[in-house]
Chains A and B, each alone.
Chain A
Amino acid sequence: EAGVVQSPRYKIIEKKQPVAFWCNPISGHNTLYWYLQNLGQGPELLIRYENEEAVDDSQLPKDRFSAERLKGVDSTLKIQPAELGDSAVYLCASSLGIGVPNTEAFFGQGTRLTVV
């Protein structure tokens, strides 16, 4: 079975431009996470979905970031407009869900964003 799939793997954009990242979680996983990871740092949670409902989005900079998870499966994270400081790796992860607490999270390979 395929793991968590993210695309694109790499993205280079000019500042002030929009960008979008896509994530397809493992089939049957109700929980989906978006994390941001800067070089030498651990993943920082941006938003967590339980099915199609966004929860734990307090760390998402809502002035420029938005996310959606239509039908509770795939998810898209968008930045508009991008700033130089947004350069980082954006990781998507999924897990079984709150009905099975404290289970492991499965991560995609991430999207490396460079804003120039």
Chain B
Amino acid sequence: SQKIEQNSEALNIQEGKTATLTCNYTNYSPAYLQWYRQDPGRGPVFLLLIRENEKEKRKERLKVTFDTTLKQSLFHITASQPADSATYLCALYSGYALNFGKGTSLLVTP
């Protein structure tokens, strides 16, 4: 069966450090992979999309890598801030249906 796996344990880091979140998938052959941010009581918000032929994608302090051989994506937040504290979700399409991982909770402390 298809699976999207993200670290279930919360990630706690200090302000200014780089946060790295992992997304692993099985039984998908994605051409694209997406990352979303979700704050408590709100719906997910799209952050980045990376294509299979892109090894790396950057947007401001965010960087995403996509390794289709390892079936893994890494999501980095550099110079992290307390405002980055949220749950981050990895998402893949199966056909035309968008499926999500469980998400990883990130807490950035001052």
Cβ A48 vs Cβ B97 within 8 A = yes
- From known contacts A102-B49, A104-B49, infer whether A45 and B43 are also in contact, taking CB-CB under 8 Å: no
Cβ A56 vs Cβ B97 within 8 A = yes
- From known contacts A98-B96, A101-B93, A102-B93, infer whether A42 and B101 are also in contact, taking CB-CB under 8 Å: yes
Residues of B in contact, count (CB < 8 Å) = 24
Sort chain A's interface into a size bin. 20 to 34
Q: Name which residue of chain A comes closest to B4, CB basis.
A: A42
Q: Name which residue of chain A comes closest to B47, CB basis.
A: A104
Q: Which residues of B contact A48 (CB under 8 A)?
A: 96-97
A111 to B4, CA, bound (A): 25
Answer yes or no: A24 CB below 8 A from chain B CBs.
Answer: no
Q: Which residues of B contact A4 (CB under 8 A)?
A: 43
Using an 8 Å CB-CB cutoff, how does the interface string of B12-45 with A read, 1 for contact, 0 for none? Answer: 0000000000000000000110100000011111
